[in-house]
Structure 1
Amino acid sequence: MAANTSYLVREQPPKALIYLLLVAGLIAITYAIIAQKLIMAAVIICLPIIIVAIGYGLQNPYFVYLLYATYAFFFTTISRYTLKTKLSVGLDILLVYISIALLFVFYLKKTNFKLKNAVNILTISYIAWIAFILFQLTNPHIGSEGITHGIRIMILETFTLYIVASIVSNSPKVLRNGLILIGIFAIIAFLKVMYQKYVGFDTSEKYWLYVQGGARTHIISSGIRYFSYFTDSGTFGTVMAAIAVVYSVIGLNTPNRKLAIFYITIGIMGTIGMFLSGTRGALIVPFASLALYCLICKSIRTFAITVIAGISIFSFLMFTDIGNSNAFIRRARTAFRPTKDASFNVRVQNRKEMALYLKDYPIGIGLQNSIPKLWPKLDLTYEEGTLPPDSFFVDIWIQTGIVGLVLNISIYVIILLGCCYIVMFKVRDKYLKQELAIFTCVVFGILLSGYTGAAPGTPPTNFIIVAMIAFVMNGTNIDKQLCQRNK
Structure 2
Amino acid sequence: MATNNNTNPFEAYSGSSNLAKPGFLVLLFFLIVVFAVIIVKLEIIGVGLAFGLIFGSVYLYYLFTYPILGFYTAIGFNFILIGLGRYLTGVPIGFGIDAILILTYVALFMNKFKERVDWTPIKKDVTILATIWFGYSIFQIINPEARSFAAWISGRGMALYPFLLIPLTLLYINTNKKLDTILYIWGVFSILATIKGIIQLNFGVDFAEQAWLNEGNYKTHILFGKLRVFSFYSDAGQFGANQAFSAVVAIIYSMSKKGLPKFFFIMVGILGIYGMMISGTRGSISVPLIGFMTFFVLRKNMFVMVSGIVLLLLVFIFFKYTFIGQGNYQIRRMRTAFDPNDASLQVRLDNQKILKNYLSSRPFGGGIGHGGTKAQKYLPNAFLSNVATDSWYVLIWVEQGIVGLLLHLMILFYVMGKASFEVMFRIRDPIVKLKMSALISGMAGVMVASYGNAVLGTMPTALIFYSSMALISNSKVFIDDNEKNEAELTKQLENKY
Identity %: 28
Question: What residue number does 2:6 align with?
Answer: none
Deviation of 1:459 after TM superposition, in Å, equals 1.2
**3-state SS of paired residue (2:362):** coil
**2:38 partner letter:** A
Is the 1:133–1:150 contact (alpha carbons within 8 Å) kept by the matching residues of 2? no
Q: What are the Cα deviations for residues 310-335 of structure 1, in whole angstroms up to 9, with x where unaligned?
A: 11100100110111100000010000
Of the candidates 42, 46, 56, which is equivalent to residue 50 of structure 1? 56
Question: What residue number does 2:335 align with?
Answer: 333
Of the candidates 79, 87, 107, which is equivalent to residue 73 of structure 1? 79
Of the candidates 216, 222, 230, which is equivalent to residue 219 of structure 2? 216
Of the candidates 279, 283, 294, which is equivalent to residue 285 of structure 2? 283
Deviation of 1:255 after TM superposition, in Å, equals 4.0
**3-state SS of paired residue (2:189):** helix
Q: What are the Cα deviations for residues 313-360 of structure 1, in whole angstroms up to 9, with x where unaligned?
A: 001001101111000000100000131x22222111111111122122
Is the 1:222–1:331 contact (alpha carbons within 8 Å) kept by the matching residues of 2? no
**1:249 partner letter:** I
- Which runs of 5 or more residues in structure 2 are unaligned? 1-16, 374-381, 488-497
**1:239 partner letter:** N
Is the 1:338–1:344 contact (alpha carbons within 8 Å) kept by the matching residues of 2? yes
Deviation of 1:28 after TM superposition, in Å, equals 3.9
Cα distance in 1 for residues equivalent to 2:191 and 2:110: 35
Q: Does 1:355 align with 2:359?
A: no
Of the candidates 157, 171, 174, which is equivalent to residue 170 of structure 1? 174
Q: CA 1:156–1:334 in structure 2 vs 1: closer, same or farther (change >3 Å)?
A: closer
Deviation of 1:148 after TM superposition, in Å, equals 4.4
Cα distance in 1 for residues equivalent to 2:164 and 2:230: 29
Q: What are the Cα deviations for residues 252-301 of structure 1, in whole angstroms up to 9, with x where unaligned?
A: x1342211111101100000000011111111111111122122222334
Q: Which moved more, 1:267-276 or 1:115-124?
A: 115-124
Q: CA 1:464–1:154 in structure 2 vs 1: closer, same or farther (change >3 Å)?
A: closer
Q: Does 1:441 align with 2:437?
A: no
Q: CA 1:150–1:207 in structure 2 vs 1: closer, same or farther (change >3 Å)?
A: closer
Q: Does 1:191 align with 2:195?
A: yes
Deviation of 1:198 after TM superposition, in Å, equals 1.5
Q: Once superposed, what is the RMSD of the aligned Cα atoms? A: 2.7
Question: What residue number does 1:3 align with?
Answer: none
Cα distance in 1 for residues equivalent to 2:426 and 2:90: 46
Is the 1:196–1:226 contact (alpha carbons within 8 Å) kept by the matching residues of 2? yes
Deviation of 1:136 after TM superposition, in Å, equals 2.9
Q: Which moved more, 1:18-27 or 1:463-472?
A: 18-27
Number of residue equivalences = 464
Cα distance in 1 for residues equivalent to 2:112 and 2:37: 43
Cα distance in 2 for residues equivalent to 1:168 and 1:267: 26
Of the candidates 255, 259, 264, which is equivalent to residue 257 of structure 1? 259
Question: What residue number does 1:484 align with?
Answer: 484
Is the 1:436–1:472 contact (alpha carbons within 8 Å) kept by the matching residues of 2? yes
After TM superposition, the structure 1 = structure 2 runs for residues 465-480 of structure 1, keeping only pairs within 5 Å, are 465-480=465-480
Cα distance in 2 for residues equivalent to 1:201 and 1:151: 29
Normalising to structure 2: TM-score of the pair?
A: 0.87
Normalising to structure 1: TM-score of the pair?
A: 0.88
Of the candidates 151, 158, 165, which is equivalent to residue 162 of structure 2? 158
Cα distance in 2 for residues equivalent to 1:482 and 1:474: 14
Is the 2:295–2:441 contact (alpha carbons within 8 Å) kept by the matching residues of 1? yes
After TM superposition, the structure 1 = structure 2 runs for residues 84-483 of structure 1, keeping only pairs within 5 Å, are 84-108=90-114, 115-145=119-149, 148-149=152-153, 153-210=157-214, 212-221=215-224, 223-251=226-254, 253-339=255-341, 341-370=342-371, 386-483=386-483
Question: What residue number does 1:61 align with?
Answer: 67
Q: Which moved more, 1:213-222 or 1:11-20?
A: 11-20
**1:315 partner letter:** I
Is the 1:121–1:418 contact (alpha carbons within 8 Å) kept by the matching residues of 2? no
